[in-house]
Amino acid sequence: MRYTFREAEIEKEISVMRVSRQKRDFKTLAIGVLLAAALYQTGTLWLENYSGHNFFYYIASLNSAAQKENEVSAVLDAEYITVGYGSKVFNVLYGKSAQELKKSADKVIKEAAEKKDMEELEEINLPEIIDKKAVIYSMPCESLVSEYLNALDAKTKENISFGFSSVVVAPSSGIKNEDEVYFINSDESKALIFRGNCESGKNLYDLIDKKATDSYDSLQYISTAQNGFNIFGKNVFVPQWSQSRLDYAVIEERNAFDDAGDNDLLAKIEPFFGSYHGQTWDRDDSGAFTVSDNDIVVKYSPDGMLEYYSYKVDSSESVQSVYSAYKACTEFLALDESITSDYYLSQVQFKSNTMVFCFDYCVDSIPVMLYDPSDENAEERHAIEVAVKNNSVKNYRRYAVDFVKSGETAFAEKDFLSAVNEAAADASENGALTDIENIMMCYGKNSEGNYSLKWFTYISGTVYAADTKNS
């Protein structure tokens, strides 16, 4: 989501401040002038291209103190978690539906790492690794094993500078064999493996068994690498359904603050400030609602955008890692009690000493696409973005809507191979067919304004959208 503060928008903010002069005393006016300047200054952060560098470009600029054991950090969430049942059948879980498995799998990771039976594999066979009961984390960015283990509070002394992009936790049944944890570097096809007989392994094994029973009638997934679909440049978990079609609920978006009066808005914004002492608020002619104090501005616009700016001057340059920044991010998100839709961490962007954590909504473990990525003129849009600098949140933007089931049902019948073939044909006509990178089934907005399931195929950096119904 790359928002641009255009000159007209800046002039609008200044105009609001001019109106405020008639309502406030000199002291408040001074705050207003600072507010206008701060909106411009902090807004320019969003003009930068955060996707320009990967994790290892960023990590090279960090002070080694970021690896200290006493660093305050939070475990980075996976983009999604895949649970494998050992029979080439998987479920892919987004958001809250993955938390129970993650909590149990993290215990196995921590315990296995503390066993200190570690080996680096120079070449991995992914289909073989996931051909058993397993929980698989697909991470939103690469990071270091040592940081992950420190965030888990694992009692390890080694500083493990191994970069990973996914984790496979394969518990044993408790009868024989050892639990295994693979930290996988997909780019280099390497892995760091921890082995051990973990007390928590049997609990995870049983939880996977229970999940298999509970999800018997749900949407299921297969691994393209495991099933020999070599058309993809990497392993992709793709959905399937056993019947001729998949029935699903159509969803619609509702503005989170549509019925909110000024007092209700103030109550929902209050947690960002802690108290209302010394704060002022205003609603302009467009309906935009702004609350500010000396350091913070929170604005809600009629188009559903909730924005937070902190322009407090911070003279310190605290060492920031992905995990310490994520700690600040998650603590801040907990303040926004108006979030009711489920969401997941979809991307981590890096720029200099600022990190932006991007989140998107999901419904029943299916992602919601807020824009059409196949439209070249469409602006990339995430549901939530949190910018963290010096382990402090400086900017926050959220598309403040709730996703609810409309009461209508629809069905999907086009399988992923048909969608890939359609996209490949379009790409070939454009001379762009070089690498089929990924395919996802997500909720996307239809012509009626509701959200229905669509296929999004990623080929050579271009996205091709297709309906899930056969034409």
**pLDDT tens digits, 208-256:** 999 887 765 668 999 999 999 888 989 999 999 988 899 999 999 988 8
Q: What is the pLDDT of residue 214?
A: 73
Q: What is the pLDDT of residue 432?
A: 66
Higher-scoring residue by pLDDT: 180, 73: 180
pLDDT band (50, 70, 90) for residue 270: confident
Q: What is the pLDDT of residue 32?
A: 41
- Give the integer Cα–Cα distance in Å for 466 and 304: 27
* C-beta separation of 265 from 257 below 8 A: yes
Side chain identity at residue 320, one-letter code: Q
> In the predicted model, what is the mean pLDDT of residues 385-406?
94
Percent of the chain with pLDDT over 70: 81
> In the predicted model, what is the mean pLDDT of residues 395-418?
94
Q: What is the pLDDT of residue 343?
A: 97
* C-beta separation of 353 from 389 below 8 A: yes
- Average pLDDT over the chain reads 83
Q: What is the pLDDT of residue 274?
A: 76
Q: What is the pLDDT of residue 433?
A: 66
Q: pLDDT tens across 298-340, in order?
A: 999 988 999 999 988 776 667 889 999 999 999 999 999 889 9
Q: What is the pLDDT of residue 157?
A: 66
pLDDT higher than threshold 60 for residue 44? no
> In the predicted model, what is the mean pLDDT of residues 339-348?
96
What is the three-class DSSP state of 270? helix
Please identify, in words, the CATH class of the domain defined by 7-50+255-398.
alpha beta
pLDDT band (50, 70, 90) for residue 460: confident
Higher-scoring residue by pLDDT: 82, 264: 82
- Give the integer Cα–Cα distance in Å for 378 and 375: 5
Q: What is the pLDDT of residue 2?
A: 39
Q: What is the pLDDT of residue 268?
A: 85
65-69, 168-172, 306-310: least confidently modelled range: 65-69
Q: What is the pLDDT of residue 279?
A: 79
Q: What is the pLDDT of residue 39?
A: 42
Which residues neighbour 314 within 8 Å (Cβ) at sequence distance 6 or greater? Answer: 389, 390, 392
Q: What is the pLDDT of residue 83?
A: 97
pLDDT higher than threshold 60 for residue 383? yes
pLDDT higher than threshold 50 for residue 141? yes
* C-beta separation of 369 from 392 below 8 A: no
> In the predicted model, what is the mean pLDDT of residues 133-137?
97
Q: What is the pLDDT of residue 57?
A: 37
Q: What is the pLDDT of residue 21?
A: 33
- Helix, strand counts (H, E) of the chain: 10, 23
pLDDT higher than threshold 50 for residue 173? yes
Give the gyration radius of the chain's Cα atoms.
24
pLDDT band (50, 70, 90) for residue 429: confident
Per DSSP, 278 falls in state T
pLDDT band (50, 70, 90) for residue 47: very low
* C-beta separation of 320 from 239 below 8 A: no
- Give the integer Cα–Cα distance in Å for 360 and 13: 28
- Give the integer Cα–Cα distance in Å for 24 and 16: 12
Q: What is the rounded (10 degree) CA torsion for 64, 66, 69, 75? A: -140
Q: pLDDT tens across 280-305, in order?
A: 888 888 889 999 988 899 999 988 99
pLDDT higher than threshold 90 for residue 195? yes
Q: What is the pLDDT of residue 352?
A: 79
Element spanning 219, H or E? none
Domain boundaries, the chain: 7-50+255-398, 78-242, 413-467
pLDDT higher than threshold 70 for residue 163? yes
Per DSSP, 419 falls in state H
